[in-house]
Amino acid sequence: MNLLEQRIVERIRQEGALTFEQFMQMALYEPGLGYYASPAIDMGKAADYFTSSNVNALFGAMVAAQVADIWRLMGQPENFVLLEQGGGRGLFALDVLDELKDRHPECYEGLNYQLVEISAPLRQKQQALLRMHADKVHWFETLDAVAPFSGVFFSNELVDAFPVHLVEFTRDGLNEVYVTVKEGALAEELGPCSTDELRAHFEERGISMPAGYRTEVNLNAKRWIFKVAERLREGYVLTVDYGFNTWDYYTGERSTGSLICYHQHATNDRPLERPGEQDITSHVDFSSLAGWGKQGGLEPTGFVTQSSFLLNMDIDRRLSELHGTLPETEYLALAAQVRTLLMPAAMGETHKILVQRRHRSEKSLRCLRARNRLDYLMARKP
């Protein structure tokens, strides 16, 4: 039993069983001990998982190109904010800043890059990596500390890491999964829902599943998108993550939910094991995220796969431009990395980009010019 597990056990003995959401909060974010809060945290190909920005710098370059387009669409403001939350080691920020400085210097000149990062170890890694752009970057520990701004709010694989409530349909109705202690070890037990929001989530959508069906509800995503909406006075929200619309999320084939753990390059479905030593994640219900955002004043504008986003931003043309400028072996390695970003079996179809706007015109963004699946996202119950 590691130190964090001991702390969790002690809390349960003092307060009673925790909701799974409370357990997941501690497992991932407990200061100094949680998976994302440990000084030993690593994110990249050598870690338990890696994001698109870890694969290739062209991902950040394509997002930077869209950000520059938005800057021009908004009238080239002198104080233009690009806020990224959950930026890992800072690789995406570095790629974006390098691209804007090299190819869109006017946008770079007026840019205020803000990073919201709750993890002190990751903030330190970001500050070291971005030292060449230090005059452009400002850090905040929480979103609450950010002042209202105009520009772009960006996140990549952030929402899937929010602590979720685990629920199970039973013959007596909806129950919630709690974490307790049995025979000295962490264990599950079912109990009444800790908040009426959980039942309302399914009732509002007309969803009822057979007894034994287990799934997640990400109420933290709801609170988060309302905070984003409060802070964005004008501009766009780009949310990159893996997930589905509501009706593909809550289907019979996902009767055990989408919760998954990553430990030493392998996946498992045992979240109570090794708290703080493995990542815990769940897929995103993009329809709910878009609906909650609309309640807060964010208009859903587009929904595309990562592959469509990158092709709409002409990543293939950019790759062709590099042919002949690099040694052949380096170019082939680059092309293979781009395929990882594009291929359906890799990240091209699993990862999606939700685009929302506030107080902006209907003019379509370049990243949405083809294969915009907004109708799929906002579809009513089939």
Q: Could you tell me the two tokens for 251?
A: 């289907």
**pLDDT at residue 46 tops 50:** no
pTM of the model: 0.93
Tell me the CATH number at 234. 3.40.50.12710
In terms of domains, do 342 and 228 share one? yes
Residue 39 maps to a domain: no
**pLDDT at residue 55 tops 90:** no
Grade residue 9 by pLDDT with cuts at 50, 70 and 90: very high
| Full DSSP string of 9-61 | HHHHHHH-PEEHHHHHHHHHHSTTTSTTTSTT---STTSS---HHHH-HHHHH
pLDDT at position 362 is: 65
The model's pLDDT over 328-345, given as tens digits with 9 standing for 90+, comes to 988 898 888 888 888 887
What average pLDDT does the segment 1-11 reach? 96
The model's pLDDT over 82-101, given as tens digits with 9 standing for 90+, comes to 999 999 999 999 999 999 99
In terms of domains, do 333 and 305 share one? yes
How many whole angstroms separate alpha carbon 342 and alpha carbon 47?
22
Locate the DSSP E strands across 104-255. Answer: 111-116, 137-140, 149-156, 165-170, 173-182, 185-191, 214-217, 232-244
Grade residue 50 by pLDDT with cuts at 50, 70 and 90: low
Q: Which domain, by its residues, includes 24? A: 1-32+161-219+244-282
Long-range contacts for 171-176 (Cβ within 8 Å, ≥24 apart)?
171/211, 173/199, 174/198, 174/199, 174/202, 176/19, 176/20
Q: Could you tell me the two tokens for 135?
A: 């005059």
What average pLDDT does the segment 278-288 reach? 97
In terms of domains, do 291 and 146 share one? yes
pLDDT at position 95 is: 96
In terms of domains, do 23 and 89 share one? no
Mean pLDDT of the chain: 93
Give the CA distances from residue 382 to residues 167, 247, 248, 277, 294, in Å, rounded to whole numbers and listed in that order: 23, 8, 10, 40, 21
In terms of domains, do 225 and 306 share one? yes
In terms of domains, do 276 and 305 share one? no
Residue 42 maps to a domain: no
What average pLDDT does the segment 110-114 reach? 97
Specify the 3-state DSSP secondary structure of 218. coil
pLDDT at position 371 is: 95
Q: Could you tell me the two tokens for 180?
A: 């307790």
Q: Could you tell me the two tokens for 333?
A: 């390695």
In terms of domains, do 182 and 154 share one? no
**pLDDT at residue 67 tops 70:** yes
Q: How many domains does the chain have?
A: 2
**pLDDT at residue 49 tops 70:** no
Dihedrals phi, psi of 79, to nearest 5 degrees:
-115, 90
Exposed, middle or buried by CB within 10 Å (0-12, 13-18, 19+), for 380?
exposed
Higher per-residue confidence, 321 vs 324: 321
**pLDDT at residue 360 tops 90:** no
Residue 380 maps to a domain: no
- Rg of the Cα trace of the chain? 21
Residue 381 maps to a domain: no
Residue 180 maps to a domain: yes
Q: Which residues neighbour 75 within 8 Å (Cβ) at sequence distance 6 or greater?
A: none
Please check whether residue 59 is in contact with residue 341, taking contact to mean a CB–CB distance below 8 angstroms: yes
